[in-house]
């Protein structure tokens, strides 16, 4: 309060202070005005000079960076494109690929960015479409676009892959997958037979531009289709480091090129490979020839759940009901949902009264979701419908107290299926059927 009062008093006194007859406050205001006018003149006339100096400096930095990047990858027949003296792009050849390093100014958040384009010149299949997973690919999938799942979990989570399945599988070996993952991290894409990558920062350092250019070129070189696509995929079944890739390739070959000599050879080889999933896929592909091998594999808890489920479906009636029940109980214990679903699907159309208790246990298991519980109930209903009028020990629907309306094993001599009501509410028709049976 005292400081405010003192300031007010000082300003009041200053109003009456003069210099050669002119109040000091007027002199101060005139000085501020003159400084503002001088600053405006400097900005109007000197500002553009500094702007030109900055453009020339950054252009020289970009030119030096792009020349270094072009030399790093060995570009030949390079041409420099300029606009009003400012470097815009360097173009050149890397073997049969035409390369463009373009300085672009549309990314205002990070300053000018560098766009790298490697034109395939017919060597990269034009229908290949590889880009980062994100909103765009999710919309495409929702609209019905079909993505090719390569089988490498890390790759499939980062890269959205579309195109001819045989070509994609033949091209996506371990090295190509690694390069494509690096490319999409550079906001890169493969589309229209070209490879594109982007560096976000201003091109003052040659290292990131050189690295991005090298990644784009190496990716383009890896995307030339092999002469024999089927044999290349068969080679991946034998040697790819990712089990999922080998499995997906084997499944594709068995589905699309079953009669090819190279495919038959690799399917038989897969039967003896140490990876159980490959043995299961090979046994499924061989049909009756692989049935014995498949019977010994599907119950293994070490087998991938989806693969085991496919094996159970492939065996069909060749898998006994007793074995189905054993597999169901083990799958419930380990919460292997795909296996549980496959066994329920198998027991519904061909299960007997012996399958009802395990199915009822499955319904009560916390490992099952509501959809699988409904499937299990439907399976029990199908068993009931087939056993109408069977011998004692078949299925009935019990209703006493809390168990009313539930399926159970009947111990009576009748052996018929009936929907009993609580005492005093039984229908005359049910009573008549019970009397006739007795």
Rounded CA-CA distance 396/414 in Å is 10
Structural domain boundaries in the chain: 51-222, 227-297, 302-386, 389-438
The Cβ of residue 408 has, within 10 Å, a number of other Cβ atoms equal to 15
Residue 55: per-residue pLDDT: 57
Rounded CA-CA distance 18/377 in Å is 103
Residue 233: per-residue pLDDT: 97
Residue 218: per-residue pLDDT: 96
Residue 88 and residue 114 in contact, taking contact as beta carbons nearer than 8 Å: no
Residue 434: per-residue pLDDT: 39
Sheet holding 76-83, edge to edge: 76-83, 86-94, 97-104, 113-119, 194-199, 189-191, 129-132, 159-162
Dump pLDDT digits (tens) for 21-51. Answer: 566 666 677 778 888 888 887 777 666 666 6
Residue 436: per-residue pLDDT: 40
The whole-model pTM stands at 0.74
Residue 314: per-residue pLDDT: 95
Which positions of the chain have pLDDT values less than 70?
Answer: 1-27, 45-59, 84-87, 105-112, 201-204, 388-438
């Amino acid at each position: 309060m005292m400081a405010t009062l003192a300031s007010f008093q000082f300003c009041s006194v200053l109003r009456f202070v003069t210099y050669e007859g002119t109040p000091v406050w007027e002199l101060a205001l005139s000085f501020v005005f003159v400084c503002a006018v001088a600053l405006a003149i400097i900005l109007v006339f000197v500002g553009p000079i500094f702007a030109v100096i900055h453009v020339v400096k950054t252009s020289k930095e970009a030119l030096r960076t792009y020349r270094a990047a072009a030399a790093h990858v060995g570009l030949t027949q390079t041409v420099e494109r300029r606009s009003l003296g400012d470097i815009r792009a360097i173009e050149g050849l890397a073997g049969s690929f035409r390369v463009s390093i373009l300085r672009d100014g549309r990314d205002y958040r990070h300053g000018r960015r560098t766009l790298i384009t490697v034109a395939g010149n017919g060597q990269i299949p034009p229908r290949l479409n590889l880009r980062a997973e994100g909103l765009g690919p999710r919309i495409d999938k929702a609209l019905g676009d079909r993505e090719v799942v390569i089988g490498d979990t890390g790759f499939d989570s980062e890269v959205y892959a579309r195109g001819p399945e045989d070509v994609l599988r033949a091209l996506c070996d371990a090295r190509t997958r690694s390069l494509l993952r690096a490319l999409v991290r550079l906001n890169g894409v493969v589309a229209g037979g070209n490879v594109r990558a982007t560096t976000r920062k201003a091109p003052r350092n040659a290292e990131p531009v050189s690295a991005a250019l090298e990644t784009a070129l190496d990716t383009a070189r890896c995307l030339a289709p092999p002469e024999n696509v089927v044999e290349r995929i068969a080679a991946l079944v034998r040697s790819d480091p990712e089990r999922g890739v080998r499995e997906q390739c084997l499944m594709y070959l068995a589905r699309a090129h079953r009669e090819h000599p190279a495919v038959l050879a690799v399917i038989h080889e897969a039967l003896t490979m140490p990876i159980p999933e490959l043995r299961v896929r090979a046994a499924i592909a061989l049909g009756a020839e692989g049935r014995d091998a498949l019977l010994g594999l599907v119950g293994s808890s070490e087998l991938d759940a989806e693969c085991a489920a496919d094996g159970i479906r492939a065996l069909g009636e060749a898998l006994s009901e007793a074995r189905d029940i054993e597999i169901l109980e083990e799958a419930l214990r380990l919460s292997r949902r795909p296996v549980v679903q496959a066994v329920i699907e198998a027991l519904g159309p061909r299960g007997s009264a012996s399958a009802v208790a395990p199915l009822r246990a499955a319904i009560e298991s916390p490992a099952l979701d509501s959809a699988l519980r409904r499937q299990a109930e439907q399976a029990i209903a199908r068993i009931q419908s087939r056993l109408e009028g069977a011998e004692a020990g078949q299925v009935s629907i019990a209703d006493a107290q809390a168990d009313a309306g539930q399926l159970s094993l009947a111990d009576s001599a009748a052996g018929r299926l009936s929907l009993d009501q609580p005492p005093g509410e039984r229908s005359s028709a049910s009573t008549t059927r019970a009397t006739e049976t007795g």
